[in-house]
Amino acid sequence: MQKLGDFKLPHFFNYPPYFTLQPVRDTRNKQVQLWKELILDYCRTQKIFVVGLEEDFPLFSNPVVERSLSHEAREAFLSALVSEGRAEWLDKGHRKCLILWHRIQEWADIILSFVKDNGLEDSVMTVEEIRSGTESRGTELHGIDRTILIRALRLLEQKGKLAIFKGTSTDDEGVKFSL
Amino acid sequence: MRRRPGIGGLQNAATARDQYRLLGENVAKIRTDLMKEQLATFRSQLEEFARKHKNDIRKNPAFRSQFHEMCAKVGVDPLASNKGFWAELLGIGDFYYELGVQIVDICLATRPHNGGLINLQELCNVLRQRRKSDRGAVSEDDCLRAISKLKAQGFVTVDEVERQFSWTSGRAIDALDTLLDEGLAMIDDGHRDGRRRYWFPCVSSIATSVADI
């Protein structure tokens, strides 16, 4: 099986026709499904949160079979993820896509577990500490994309689990937990 | 021959060398001719054999396998073309072609169960069931032969189809697009030569799984 670093690539990745958008509906559906799963799996294992359509995202080409996904194909597969709530476009031109291999709700749950596990129920932390502080090491929160983190925190704020407050600059946004 | 000193002696030696060389060439030629004759005789005997045992070859897989081995030894490939002596005599090209089509058919039918990969033994079992009555037994050897005769690469271009069947471009595209619509083929527009390729996933998976045996 071919690998991309540590990641095991599925067989279809070496089959040239999968790099061409298929015109026949059932075939296309199967193709889209395979690509959606691959993109999510890869982003999850490599902790990739943003995919740029015009950048060298490794999954977009396979030099072994000398094929690359057209822009149309890239947009089609990512749009399918967006429709499913597994991704969001970051710009109107659909050039950058936020990948939600955990949905926002799932991230919110992870944050809650993190707070409980570390006894932080009544503490205050900065947003940056949550994603890169010592407590975060070894957890899924380590290195999380800021945009996603803030979205999850806002969700929890709506549920009254915490309060977000601004510090002296955007880097200092703080969170007071009240679980 | 006793060597004699002087010019005369040298001339004799030269003549002797020439004569030996000529003899050597003649021997080589005779050997080649003999071999050619042997091969020609073998080939016609093989044809005679095939004529006599036509039914056995069609019906008995073990016999058929040995027959193929004999042919291979003299560089005869009865499956090389659908025309000519072998095809006409034995209809053996048709046999394998038909087998090939049935194999693709079975693979397609079982695809929902096995995702497009089928093991050779199972394939032969299903094949035998389908061919039950008069068509004659089929061995794994036959399956392998038929499979290797299917386009090894797993894809075709429109040009290739036109050439293979002597069709017009329109007809070739229609046929390929029909297979596409039925989910039997996938298109590939990514080759740098810009020519569209039609891939047959079923064929490629058989070829891959058989290659692993």
Written as one letter, the residue type at A89 is W
Question: B3 touching A, CB under 8 A?
Answer: no
With beta carbons less than 8 A apart as the criterion, state whether A43 and A49 touch.
yes
Proportion of chain B above pLDDT 70, given as a percent:
60
What average pLDDT does this structure show over B132-160?
64
How confident is the model over B3-61, as pLDDT tens digits? 556 777 777 878 888 877 777 777 777 667 777 777 777 777 777 777 788 778 777 77
Strands A7-8 and A3-4: antiparallel
Residue B163 corresponds to which tokens in the numbers above?
């050439």
- Cα–Cα distance, A143 to A147 (Å, whole number): 12
With beta carbons less than 8 A apart as the criterion, state whether B188 and A18 touch.
no
- End-to-end CA, chain A: 46
Confidence of residue B92 (pLDDT cuts 50, 70, 90): low
pLDDT at B2: 60
Q: Does domain A104-177 have CATH number 1.10.10.10?
A: yes
- Cα–Cα distance, B23 to B101 (Å, whole number): 57
Please check the confidence at residue A19 and state whether its pLDDT lies above 90: yes
Classify residue A70 as exposed, middle or buried by CB count within 10 Å of its CB (0-12, 13-18, 19+).
Answer: middle
Which residue of A16, A24, A66 is in closest CB contact with B180?
A: A24
What average pLDDT does this structure show over A69-78?
97
Report the alpha-carbon angle A126-A131-A134, nearest 5. Answer: 90
Q: Which residue of chain A comes nearest to B183, CA vs CA?
A: A27
Same fold yes or no, A3-99 and A104-177: yes
Q: 3-state class of B159 per DSSP?
A: helix
- Cα–Cα distance, B123 to B207 (Å, whole number): 13
Proportion of chain A above pLDDT 70, given as a percent:
98
Nearest CA-CA partner of A84 in A132, A16, A35, A117: A35
Dihedral angle at the C-alpha atoms of A55, A60, A65, A70, nearest 10 degrees? -90
Which residue of B187, B190, B191 is in closest CB contact with A22?
A: B187
Strands A174-177 and B186-188: unpaired
Residue B89 corresponds to which tokens in the numbers above?
């005599």
pLDDT at A177: 94
pLDDT at B210: 46
| Range 151-210 of B in CB contact (< 8 A) with A | 155, 180-181, 183, 186-192, 197, 199, 201, 204
The conformation of residue A11, written as its DSSP 8-state character, comes to G
B181-199: buried (b, 16+ CB within 10 Å) or exposed (e) per residue? eebbbbbbebbeeeebbbb
How confident is the model over A25-63, as pLDDT tens digits? 999 999 999 999 999 999 999 999 999 999 999 999 999
| ipTM given for this complex | 0.85
Please check the confidence at residue A174 and state whether its pLDDT lies above 70: yes
pLDDT at B148: 54
Confidence of residue B70 (pLDDT cuts 50, 70, 90): confident
Residue A3 corresponds to which tokens in the numbers above?
């690998």
What average pLDDT does this structure show over B101-114?
68
What average pLDDT does this structure show over B150-156?
64
- Cα–Cα distance, B144 to A46 (Å, whole number): 42
Which residues of A sit within 8 Å Cβ distance of B?
Answer: 15-20, 22-24, 26-27, 66-68
Higher pLDDT, A77 or B91: A77
Query: Domain residue spans in chain A?
Result: 3-99, 104-177
With beta carbons less than 8 A apart as the criterion, state whether B46 and B74 touch.
yes
Confidence of residue A12 (pLDDT cuts 50, 70, 90): very high
Distance set, CA B91 to CA A13, B95, B104, B122 (Å): 41, 6, 20, 26
Q: Lowest-confidence range among A65-74, B67-76, B153-162?
A: B67-76
Strands A174-177 and A162-165: antiparallel
How confident is the model over B162-202, as pLDDT tens digits? 776 777 888 878 878 888 887 878 999 999 999 999 887 76
pTM given for the model: 0.62
pLDDT at B128: 74
Mutate to test the interface with A, among B117, B178, B188 (most CBs of A within 10 A): B188
With beta carbons less than 8 A apart as the criterion, state whether A3 and A9 touch.
yes
- Cα–Cα distance, B123 to B145 (Å, whole number): 13
- CATH superfamily of this structure's domain A3-99: "Winged helix" DNA-binding domain. Chain C. Domain 1 (1.10.10.570)
- Cα–Cα distance, B73 to B91 (Å, whole number): 21
Helix (H) or strand (E) holding B26: helix B7-52
- Cα–Cα distance, B64 to B61 (Å, whole number): 5
With beta carbons less than 8 A apart as the criterion, state whether A72 and A37 touch.
no
Please check the confidence at residue B142 and state whether its pLDDT lies above 80: no
Q: Which residue of chain B comes nearest to A69, CA vs CA?
A: B190
Residue A49 contacts by C-beta under 8 Å, 6 or more apart in sequence? A43, A98, A99, A144, A145, A147, A148
Report the alpha-carbon angle B49-B69-B150, nearest 5. Answer: 110
Nearest CA-CA partner of A98 in A45, A149, A49, A44: A49
List of chain A residues whose C-beta atoms are within 8 Å of the C-beta of residue B188 = 16-17, 19-20, 67
